[in-house]
Structure 1
Amino acid sequence: MHMDPHLLRTFVAVVEHRSFSAAARALGYTQSAVSQHIAALENDLGTRLVERRPVGPTAAGERLMEHAAPLLLRIDAARADVARVGRAHPTRLTLACGPVALTPSVAGDLARLRADTPGLAVDVQVLGRAAVAQAVLTGAADLGLIDGAAAPSDPLPVPDAGPMTGLAVAEQPLAVLLPAGHPLAHRGSLRLFDLADAHWIDAPDTAVSLGQLRAAANTDGFRPHLTYGGTDVYGLGVLVAAGHGLAALPLSLAAALPGTVGIRLSAPRLVHRVEVLHPRAPAAVAQELVGRLTG
């Protein structure tokens, strides 16, 4: 069994699109080629992976899907890592960042780097947290900025998919974002445990994830009242202000969203942490920005 990555990518596309023809269009293949790829992979593994009518994974296919994404990401990460070796000094810097990780301090460091590096073109991409890490791993971005909740000085979890390092950029108090007229809006601080049964907005790419809050409070609460799939922090603030649910954000940002109030969390001890992710051998200009962000 050699697990051809081309066949594996085709399998993932078929399962995600639930269609052989849609997978073919997405991959730029003919439908016949997609069918041949699936048949070859099934022959290689000795089991049926995809039901044809309707299209969907078999039990074995579902198990393979659990492995497929990290396997393909690891291959892309290895390819990108090798490509970085001996690469000439670039005149372009691509920075991928979560919407909350792009702070005024980061923007200032980036501006000073551009002023000190004539001719440098900068591309800033605002992505979800998982997409930021993936962009750095696969070489789509030179650096990444992620954020999340952590105990003071504890690192954020970094995907174990390749040679990548996370370094602290900033920490600040974590706050609960409430509508301005909420009964708790007058409090000086709040305990996370007391909010487990409140209505929450699940905004995994913008606010602190509800999974992190459950782990921190050691409870199965924090169930989503509404799901928000965007990366627009202002849009999240509008939803909170309208009473759709609460969210956890850094205190400085919570104070800037109209119609809301940010109340600092007093327990457990959590901070909002921003980290810069870089590959094992970043380009010189990327390394320079890392030094400015962490200095």
Structure 2
Amino acid sequence: MLNPVHLRTLVEVVATGSFAAAARRLGYTSSAVSQQVSAFERAVGTPLFEREAHSIRPSSAALFIAERGAELLAALDGFEDEIAGLVGGRRGRVRLGTFPTASARVVPHAVARLAAERPDAEIQLDEGEPDDLLPQVLAGSLDLALVYAYDLVPRTWPEELTVSPLLDEALLIMVPGNHPANRAQIRVEDLRDERWICSRDGTAGATCAVRLCAAHGFTPRISFRSNDYGLVRGLVRAGVGVAMVPALGFQPTAGVAGRPMRGKPLWRHVFAVHRTANANPLLRDALAALGSACDQVVGEHLTRA
């Protein structure tokens, strides 16, 4: 295998025309340069210079190797710079997972900051529910994921993960604006006879809604299911049902009210999770960007964890 140090020495000898001049450029002694050239000749299996008493003459093989070697050394220098950038967090790739409401409200701010601070880094996004994202984080196909957990649907975390709290979202009851239960705080028990709109069966949101209603003495009559809060909002506005939504999923809309429930407030909590052993230097910057993005969405019903 060719030694790149010896190759660099050969390139300098050809460029300067002497061992002594190459030694001065490289900071070696003339003897060291001569030894490196001899070692390189043994590696390639042919003499590369005609040595005379006071001069040397490169062979055609030496000229060819020096020309191509200079290109290779330039590529190697560039590669070393890329590695340094990767280790220092200036380059590389970070793979983020997120759930839909965070995708709409939080992630754009975070990606914009991260792209501005690390313009040479590659940022990849994937979207899914926590049960989809957590296995990808554990498997290493995602570096970092935004996930959530409801008060009434607690979640346990694998010990391999570092879990960073980001946001607390109040759970709101969404009703048509003209609904008789539309007050500053809504009594959940007043909605026992309503049709309910929930997320897909088996999701944490749907489980939370059922447990919430059970705590108020009734089983909700679930007539529609969707994980698209825009559709849920449209159905509520059309007067076909009521819904429980986290604050990130509520957008003020004419004809729709999103109110906190009367009594003890309930929350959905947003976390950033990553493998503790993940050494990606961009993780720190991604977490900082997500924290800054959360600061921008804090407001009524949304607080920093």
Give TM class, smaller chain. 0.5 to 0.7
Distance in 2 between residues matched to 1:222 and 1:138, nearest whole Å: 38
Partner of 2:112: 111
Question: Quick check: 1:235 aligned with 2:242?
Answer: no
1:23 paired residue number? none
2:172 aligns to what?
175
Q: Where do 4+ consecutive residues of structure 1 move more than 4 Å?
A: 87-90
Letter in 2 for 1:111: A
Matching residue within 209, 223, 226 for 1:225:
223
Q: Once the 2 structures are TM-superposed, how far is the Cα of residue 270 of structure 1 from its aligned partner?
A: 1.2
> Does the CA contact (< 8 Å) of 1:156 and 1:275 recur in 2?
no
Q: In the superposition, relative to structure 1, how do residues 235 and 125 fare at CA in structure 2: closer, same or farther (>3 Å)?
A: farther
Q: Distance in 2 between matches of 1:245 and 1:208?
A: 20
CA distance in 2, matches of 1:275, 1:129: 10
Q: Structure 1: how far apart are the matches of 2:277 and 2:254?
A: 42
Give the superposed CA RMSD: 3.2
Q: Find the aligned partners of 1:225 and 1:127 in 2 and give their Cα distance.
A: 24
Shift of 1:225: 1.6
Q: What residue number does 2:127 align with?
A: 126
Between the aligned partners of 1:129 and 1:259, the Cα distance in structure 2 is 31
Which of 281, 284, 295 aligns to 1:284? It is: 281
Offset of residue 199 of structure 1: 1.9
Q: Which runs of 5+ in 2 are unaligned?
A: 1-85, 293-305
2:155 aligned with 1:157: yes
C-alpha distance in 2, partners of 1:159/1:198?
Answer: 36
1:86-142: CA deviations, max 9, x gaps? Answer: x97772222111112335444323311111112222222221232122332233322
Q: Indicate yes or no: 2:266 matched with 1:270.
A: yes
TM-score (norm 2): 0.56
CA distance in 1, matches of 2:126, 2:254: 25
Q: Equivalents in 1 of 2:192, 2:138: separation in Å? A: 35
Mapped to 1, the partners of 2:283 and 2:179 lie a distance apart of: 44
1:43 corresponding residue in structure 2: none
| Structure 1: gaps of 5 or more residues | 1-86
User: What is the aligned partner in structure 1 of residue 96 from structure 2?
Assistant: 95
Instruction: State yes or no: 1:188 paired with 2:189.
Output: no
Measured after TM superposition, the shift of residue 289 of structure 1 is: 1.5
User: Which residue in the other structure is 2:301 paired with?
Assistant: none
Q: 1:240 to 1:134 in 2, by over 3 A?
A: farther
1:259 CA displacement: 4.0
Structure 2 SS opposite 1:170:
strand
Output the CA distance in 2 between the equivalents of 1:156 and 1:169: 16
Residue 285 of structure 1 deviates from its aligned partner by 0.9
**Partners of 2:125 and 2:169 in 1: CA distance:** 23
Give the drift of 1:201: 1.5
CA deviation vs aligned residue, 1:215-257 (integer Å, no higher than 9, x gap): 34535623422122x4x33222222222342222234642434
SS in 1 for 2:261: strand
Contact conserved, 2:148 with 2:270, CA < 8 A, in 1?
yes
CA distance in 2: counterparts of 1:129 and 1:242, whole angstroms: 30
- Asked whether the equivalents of residues 96 and 125 of structure 1 are also in contact (C-alpha less than 8 Å), the reply is yes
The structure whose Rg is larger is 2
SS in 2 for 1:182: coil
Conserved? CA contact 1:208–1:248, under 8 Å: no
Residue of 227, 246, 257 corresponding to 1:250 = 246
**C-alpha distance in 1 between matches for 2:162 and 2:263:** 29
Task: Flag the 1:281–1:292 CA change in 2: closer, same or farther, 3 A.
Answer: farther
Q: Please give the alpha-carbon distance, in whole angstroms, between the structure 2 residues aligned to 1:129 and 1:188.
A: 32
Q: Deviations over 1:181-233 (max 9, x none)?
A: 32223x1111334435532122149x9613123434535623422122x4x33
Residue identity over aligned pairs, in percent, reads: 23
